Amino acid sequence: MLARVASRSLAASARLRLPLARTIVTKKYTKEHELIAYDSDTRTGTMSISDYAQKSLGQVAFVELPSVGADVAQEENIGTVESTKAASDIYAPISGKVVAINEELSSNPGLINKDPEGAGWLVKIEAGSSVEKELDALLTEEEYTAHCESEDAH
């Protein structure tokens, strides 16, 4: 009797479960060594520079980022990363509106060296209407790795 009640309770709870929502995060790269981790549910991309870029730059000393609320276009220069070796412009991987900047970088730009694709993120961009087309134009991780290898060969 107890087993029948328990199995009915399990069956009832299984019917009441809502389907799980599945967020898809797509990571794509530019040939200029920026990357975007795009969340399809929030339509927001977190932009960083790649590990390859931070190694090439050396110790990052200063970061200039756009203002929150700024509209950006794909491939538009939106800031600068300066290191002890060089200064490098950063370009928007997708079009949209800047909804957040990594404030921590103003006092600790070295975060880019420690964790460029994590805590060293640069900006968050709320994607525009052409995001799917723009993402398709960017490189996959495999394509980006091949691109970096070909740069190293030259």
Residue 17 CA neighbour count, 13 Å, CB half: 9
- Please enumerate in sequence order all residues whose Cβ is within 8 A of that of 52, keeping only pairs 6 or more positions apart, or say none: 33, 148
Given a cut of 90, is residue 144 above it in pLDDT? yes
Alpha-carbon distance values, 147 to 49, 81, 86, 87 (Å): 15, 21, 21, 21
Over the range 128-142, which residues count as b (16 or more CB within 10 Å of their CB) and which as e? Answer: beebeebbeebbeee
Q: What is the pLDDT of residue 21?
A: 56
Look up the domain containing 72 and give its range: 23-153
Evaluate whether residue 18 is within a structural domain: no
With bands split at pLDDT 50, 70 and 90, how would you rate the model's confidence at 132?
very high
| Any domain includes 17 | no
Within-domain flag for 51? yes
Residue at 34 is within a domain: yes
pLDDT of residue 22: 61
- The mean of the pLDDT values for the chain is 87
pLDDT, tens digit (0-9, with 9 covering 90-100), for 27-53: 999 999 999 999 999 999 999 999 999
Q: From CA 128, how far away is CA 20, in angstroms rounded?
A: 26
Does residue 8 belong to any structural domain of this protein? no
For residue 43, the domain's CATH number is: 2.40.50.100
Burial (Cβ within 10 Å: 0-12, 13-18, ≥19) of residue 63: buried
**What would you measure as the largest C-alpha separation in the chain, in angstroms?**
76
In a domain, 4, yes or no: no
User: Is 12 inside any structural domain?
Assistant: no
In-domain check, residue 6: no
pTM summary value = 0.83
Instruction: Work out how many domains the chain is built from and give that number.
Output: 1
- The whole-number average pLDDT for the span 133-148 is 95
